Amino acid sequence: MSEKLNIEVPTMAELVARGEQPEILFWVGCAGSYDERAQKTTRDICKILHHVGIKYAVLGTEESCTGDPAKRAGNEFLFQMQAMTNIEILNGYDIKKIVTGCPHCFNTIKNEYPGLGGNYEVIHHTQLIQDLIAEGKLKAEGGESFKGKKITYHDPCYLGRANGVYEAPRKALEVLDAQLVEMKRCKSNGLCCGAGGAQMFKEPEKGNKDINIERIEEALETNPGIIAAGCPFCMTMLSDGVKMKDKSDEVQVLDIAEITARANGL
């Protein structure tokens, strides 16, 4: 199952020491590195990369926050400090292509780093999975069957509206032969989980409801077995929502990478 990591995760430092260069750098992100729930997704992304035999590496302890929450909170100084430090490391390793495990890192590196000297081809892990499926390198076999299971996908704002990536995560789910159901507010009309714009790190303002509850109620209306996520922050908000609604026994919140890994028995 997807808990254990029996593979060695290569770091850039190790690769360079061996005089090698990866095909793709996996940018893990802070949530993926430290948040226990998100770590599972991180390990599953590594398993997928390993499984298909892509030569990849991570920065390990050389990675640092992209600066996204600082920028959304209005601290441009801190954002650019982080960005320039990261760019120095990435350029130092001559990185060309990056896959991120988080839509926020994805958006920041893809859109905001070029202006500061960091030019890379950046994709989100759901796009990588979609590509691998399209190339025939990844299927949904040898693992857990999702056939007929009801799955609803929650669009992360920074993947969907912010960057127009709506199809990749859905394509990644389509191979499962599951029953995909859309929430009322989906794709460009998707409702935020409530974590964006640095909300993740503070208490919400006074109101009559928490945003993740509003969202989870809508998700539960579809009667899903699984709520699929593509963002570690959405994962936290949605999982909390499911817990608050006492639905943890019936409804799982899983990242698309986790679902893919399970379907392939990784």
Partner 1 sequence: MISQILFIAIIIAAVVLFSINVKKVIRNIRLGRDADRSDQPSKRLMTMLKVAFGQSKMVVRPIPAALHFVVYAGFVIINIEVLEIMIDGIFGTHRIFGGLGTLYNFLIGSFEILALGVWLACVIFLIRRNILKLKRFMASELEGWPKSDANYILFTEVLLMTAFLLMNAADAKLQTLGLSHYTAAGSFPVSQFLIPLLPDQPSVLIALERGCWWFHIIGILAFLNYLPYSKHFHILFAFPNTYYSNLEPKGEFTNMESVTNEVKAMLDPSFVPAEAAAGRFGAKDVNDLTWINLMNAYTCTECGRCTSVCPANITGKLLSPRKIMMDTRDRMEEVGKSLDQKGPGLEDGKSLIDNYITREEIWACTSCNACVEACPINIDPLAIITELRRYAVMEESQAPTSINTMLGNIENNGAPWKYSPADRFNWAKEN
Contacting partner 1 within 81-100 (CB under 8 A) = 81-82, 84-85
17 near partner 1 (CB under 8 A): no
Q: Which amino acid is at 85?
A: T
CA 257 vs CA 101, 218, 222, 246: distances in Å: 9, 23, 22, 25
- State the nearest-atom distance from the C-beta of 141 to partner 1, in Å: 26
Judged by CB under 8 A, the stretch of 71-79, 122-130, 248-256, 258-266 that binds partner 1 is 71-79
* Of residues 185-214, those binding partner 1 (CB under 8 A): 188-192, 194-211, 213-214
Q: Which amino acid is at 53?
A: G
Question: Tell me, what DSSP letter sits at residue 11?
Answer: B
Residues 22, 16: Cα–Cα separation, whole Å: 9
- State the nearest-atom distance from the C-beta of 44 to partner 1, in Å: 11
73 near partner 1 (CB under 8 A): yes
42 near partner 1 (CB under 8 A): yes
Residue 131 host element (H or E): helix 125-134
Nearer to partner 1, 69 or 224 (CB): 69
20, 23, 55, 77: which one binds partner 1 (CB under 8 A): 77
* Of residues 227-266, those binding partner 1 (CB under 8 A): none
Q: 124 burial class (0-12, 13-18, 19+ CB within 10 angstroms)?
A: buried
SS3 of residue 153 by DSSP: strand
Judged by CB under 8 A, the stretch of 47-55, 60-68, 125-133, 253-261 that binds partner 1 is 60-68
Judged by CB under 8 A, the stretch of 14-22, 108-116, 141-149, 241-249 that binds partner 1 is 108-116
CA 86 vs CA 9, 66, 71, 91, 125: distances in Å: 20, 7, 15, 8, 20
Closest CA relative to residue 257, chosen from 50, 9, 34, 56: 50
12, 46, 186, 254: which one binds partner 1 (CB under 8 A): 46
63 near partner 1 (CB under 8 A): yes
Judged by CB under 8 A, the stretch of 41-49, 92-100, 140-148, 174-182 that binds partner 1 is 41-49
SS3 of residue 31 by DSSP: helix
- State the nearest-atom distance from the C-beta of 178 to partner 1, in Å: 27
